[in-house]
Structure 1
Amino acid sequence: MLRKPETNEYPPYYKEYVNNVPDGELLQILEDQQKETMKLLNALSEETAEYKYAPGKWTIKEVIGHITDTERIMCYRLLSIGRGEQGMLPGYDDDEYVRRGNFNRFPLSDLLHHQALVRQHTILLLSSMDEEALCRRGNANGSEVTARAIAYIIAGHEIHHRRLIEDRYLSSGQ
Structure 2
Amino acid sequence: MENEQLEKLRYPIGKYQVPETITEEHLQTWITVLEELPKRLENAVSGFSEEQLDTPYRPGGWTVRQLVHHVSDSHHNSYVRFKWGLTEDNPMIKAYFEKEWSELFDSKTAPIQMSLDHLKAVHFKLVYLLKGLTKEQLKRTFRHPEGNVESTLAENIGRYAWHSNHHFAHLQNLIEREGW
TM tier, smaller? 0.7 to 0.9
* 1:124 partnered with 2:137: no
TM-aligned CA deviation for residue 100 of structure 1 = 2.1
Q: Is the 8 A contact 2:93 2:143 kept in 1?
A: yes
| Aligned-residue identity in percent | 22
> Partner of 2:178: helix, strand, or coil?
coil
Q: What corresponds to 1:151 in structure 2?
A: 157
Matched ranges for 1:70-109 at <5 A? 70-100=74-104, 102-109=106-113
Q: Which residue of 2 aligns with 1:27?
A: 31
Q: CA deviation at 1:117?
A: 1.5
Q: 1:101 to 1:139 in 2, by over 3 A?
A: farther
Q: Classify the secondary structure of the residue corresponding to 1:153.
A: helix
Bigger Cα displacement from structure 2, 40-49 vs 62-71: 40-49
Q: Number of residue pairs matched?
A: 159
Contact 1:81 1:138 in 2 (8 A): yes
Question: Hey, what's the Cα distance between the residues in 1 that align with 2:50 and 2:144?
Answer: 36
TM-score for the superposition, normalised by structure 1: 0.77
Q: What's the offset of the Cα at 1:55?
A: 5.2
Deviation, 1:42, is 1.9
Structure 1: which 5+ residue stretches go unaligned?
A: 1-12
Change (3 A) 1:128 1:54: closer
Aligned-residue Cα RMSD (Å) equals 2.6
Match for residue 17 of structure 2?
A: 15
Q: Which runs of 4+ in 1 moved over 4 A?
A: none
Query: Equivalents in 1 of 2:57, 2:170: separation in Å?
Result: 10
Query: Match of 2:88, SS?
Result: coil
| Residue 97 of structure 2 is aligned to residue 113 of structure 1 | no
- Residue 3 of structure 1 is matched in structure 2 by none
Match of 2:173 among 158, 167, 174: 167
Alignment partners' CA distance in 2, 1:140 and 1:24 = 21
Q: Could you tell me the TM-score, scaled by structure 2's length?
A: 0.75
Q: Kindly tell me: are residues 107 and 155 of structure 1, through their superposed partners in 2, closer, same or farther at Cα, counting changes over 3 Å?
A: same
Letter of the structure 1 residue corresponding to residue 169 of structure 2: R
5+ long unaligned stretches in structure 2: 1-14, 20-24
- Deviation at residue 104 of structure 1 after TM alignment: 3.1
Correspondence for 1:69 among 52, 70, 73: 73
Change (3 A) 1:114 1:86: same
